[in-house]
Structure 1
Amino acid sequence: MDNFVMKGRARQASEIGSRASRRLRAEGLMPINIYGASKPNTPVVVNSGEFYRALEDHHLLFQVDFDGNSETGIIKEVQYDTFSDHTIHADLSRVKPDDIVETTMSIVTTGIPKGVSAGGTLDIAYHHVPVRGKVANLESSMSIKIEHLEAHGVIRAKDIQMPAGVELLLSDSTPVIIVHARKGS
């Protein structure tokens, strides 16, 4: 898996706390805490625009380069503004390529199902699926072809081809993608 590399800088003591974080966000910066791996918590700031793009592109693994240091981690938590979809804070957990982690992978569908072309509706029950695997084996997203799905067609967890070394943490019978028939048919 590729790292999404962001440039940042360490936060000073005066830049920690709610007020300071608001000021940083007003300057276009995103407060991030990096923790874990028996190292002290590292508060940093990165460019908000870069971070938003990384989230939109479904990146899982982040590398933050700051003040001559480099830390790699996966997102543990993202805090959003109560009244909008803006990210206001994120926590990254330090990882190494051989670490086994539980996280989520995004599902990207390709094609238009036959059942939808016939008037049905597409229901994606899971846009992100829970997975476990070595960091080196994880992908940011997985592509699932759905053009073959007829009305009443279902792709269940057992039907999803996972990358080598990655385990899907859903029951085999769990419906992930469903095509519902047109009403009245």
Structure 2
Amino acid sequence: MDGHASFDLSGKIPGLTLAGTDGAATVGQGSGVRMWVTGGSLDHADRRFTGGEAVLSGGFQLRMADRSTTIDHLDLDVASGELRGRIDGQAMPLGTLDTDRLHVTSAAGQHRVYFSVRGDLRLSEAAAARLNTALNTGVFASGDVLMEGDVALGVPLDRRLASDLGIGYEAATDASIQADIQRGAPTDLGLGLI
């Protein structure tokens, strides 16, 4: 599995910036980071996409005034939407992304399908408390939207994947795919080909 991820600050917390670390790229003048998916899996069978995991490379540093904190070792549980990682070396659930809907894309002839999770990253109670301590503030609360996330999981197209998408393998390799599917629901993309 491969792919990419991006996280952009929601802009709801004045003075908060971020910078990529360990190979993650900073974009938008301190408002976003881009990183790679370096491992994981996508669980699917019987035309249902039920979960999996995406392991992300790099991390980011959040800054507020003269304080900073580092978040790294990120991985996303596709079934629960939980984004886990470390804040200054302490492992914890960071928050959740809504993974009920997956956006599916593939270019004609590409032989790779991308399953994207997009949405707000809502802070866990543990992450909100740790960020408040690390940044010497009280602005973070459980359930707050810290960032907008987009995690795209790239999966090689094979006959089993095409079957679980509800399309023939040849049709899947010859056409572009643009569709949204519900995680856990029966999938039939026969009409989602472009």
Q: Is this a same-fold pair by TM over 0.5?
A: no
Higher strand share: 2
Structure with the greater alpha carbon radius of gyration: 1
TM-score (structure 2 length as normaliser): 0.28
Which is helix-richer, 1 or 2? 1
Structure-1-length-normalised TM-score: 0.29
> 1 or 2 for the larger relative contact order (CA 8 Å, sep ≥6)?
2
